[in-house]
Amino acid sequence: MLQFMKTVRLGIGIRLVSGIVFVLFFLCCVSAASFGQRVTIRVINLNGRPFKNKQVYISGLSAHAASKTDEQIKLTGKPIRADLSLLTDSKGEAAFDLPNPAPAYVYVRPMFSERVWDCTCFVSIPTDELLQKGYIAMSPSAARKKPKPSMQPSAGEILFVMVRTPLWWQLLYPIEKG
């Protein structure tokens, strides 16, 4: 009888362990896209210093897929009709979760004065590229000034690198805009 009980216990233990292994294998095989993906937006200057308390607007998260032009109008027109509005923290970061299923593109716009900051402030980002390797948005003048090599986005991160406009542009801006 004692031998029988040991065999039963051993059989139950083996089934329990194999069940746990199966569940872990199943969870590893389930696509990560089926869970809400976390996206981080980081806004820094060319020296790597973060911008805190900056407004960031996100669009393209709703179930209705709109064109890039429609999404741009939503984020640049008055009034702004973003799907989500966030503020950066002391590290210059703001984060949100993508809906399930994830949209094909995410549209992001941080709010900066065109007069003071040279900014590519509206970006359309393919979601699969964003989740795999991240995305960096940099103005042409920031790219010419060779940012630090450490300014690389990680997977799931949108990095905005900002640079100040020259003083002559700041002075002529009111004339340019009329």
pLDDT of residue 18: 54
Q: Which CATH number fits domain 38-177: 3.30.70.20, 2.60.40.1120, 2.60.40.60, 3.40.50.300?
A: 2.60.40.1120
pLDDT in tens, 110-131: 987 665 566 667 889 999 999 9
Is the entire prediction scored with pTM above 0.85? no
- How high is the pLDDT of residue 40? 96
Cα 111 from Cα 51, distance rounded (Å) = 11
Per-residue DSSP letters for 137-153? EE-HHHHHT---TT--P
Q: Measuring CA to CA, how many Å separate 32 from each of 40, 42, 110, 135?
A: 17, 23, 28, 19
pLDDT at 24: 40
Express each pLDDT in 139-153 by its tens digit: 766 666 665 556 788
Say whether the peptide bond before residue 147 is cis (omega within 30 degrees of 0).
no
Handedness of CA 85, 89, 93, 99 (dihedral sign): negative
- Of 18 and 171, the structure prediction assigns the larger pLDDT to 171
**Sequence-ordered list of residues with C-beta below 8 angstroms from that of 169, at least 6 positions apart, any chain:** 115
Domain ranges of the chain: 38-177
Higher pLDDT, 33 or 96: 96
Closest to 158 in 3D by CA, of 177, 133, 140 = 133
